[in-house]
């Protein structure tokens, strides 16, 4: 007994595989381009009511940290440290979310390990 494939499947053999490989290569090129564009973007977040602002790049590198002079209290360095950490972490989360959303949109939610 021979197994039958549903209508529209099979019959193409190598040509279908080549077409799939071309589509995968095109998707990989698009993802690479989007990734390069995202690495150039900047993401800014603040904490403490804009007392501390942090800007990071899509490469997950801190580009700048702005601190309002009025929040610098030599007796409470820990609070300033917490504000800086909160702003940096929020900016990094925004960068990661943007990259994740962009890649998911491009791939249609398809998760193929090693594609990018």
Q: Which CATH superfamily is domain 44-107 in?
A: Nucleoid-associated protein YbaB-like domain (3.30.1310.10)
Of residues 91 and 4, more confidence is placed in 91
Q: Give the C-alpha separation, 43 to 100, whole Å.
A: 14
The answer on pLDDT for 7 being more than 60 is: yes
Task: Provide the pLDDT confidence category of residue 20 given band limits of 50, 70 and 90.
Answer: confident
pLDDT over threshold 60, residue 68: yes
Question: Are residues 108 and 101 in contact, defined by beta-carbon separation less than 8 angstroms?
Answer: no
Residues 6+ apart with CB under 8 A from 69: none
Q: pLDDT: is 85 or 103 the higher one?
A: 85
Could you tell me the pTM of the whole model?
0.70
State the pLDDT at residue 18: 86
Taking alpha carbons only, the member of 44, 39, 42, 23 closest to residue 112 is 23
Kindly give, in sequence order, each residue whose CB lies less than 8 Å from that of residue 86, ignoring residues fewer than 6 positions away: 47, 48, 52
- All residues at 6 or more sequence positions from 19 whose CB lies less than 8 Å from its CB, including other chains: 12
Domain ranges of the chain: 44-107
Cβ density class 39-56: b for 16+ within 10 Å, e for less: eeeebebbbbeebbbbbb
Q: Is 63 left (phi over 0), alpha (psi -120 to 50) or beta?
A: alpha
């Amino acid at each position: 007994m021979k197994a039958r494939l549903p209508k529209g499947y099979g019959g193409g053999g190598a040509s279908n595989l080549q077409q799939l490989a071309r589509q995968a290569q095109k998707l990989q090129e698009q993802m690479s381009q989007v990734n390069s564009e995202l690495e150039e973007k900047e993401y800014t977040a603040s904490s403490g009511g804009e007392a501390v602002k942090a800007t990071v790049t899509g490469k997950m590198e801190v580009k700048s940290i702005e601190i309002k002079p009025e929040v610098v209290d030599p007796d409470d360095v820990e609070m300033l440290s917490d504000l800086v950490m909160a702003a940096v972490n929020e900016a990094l989360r925004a960068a990661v979310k943007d990259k994740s959303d962009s890649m998911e949109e491009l791939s249609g939610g398809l998760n193929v390990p090693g594609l990018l």
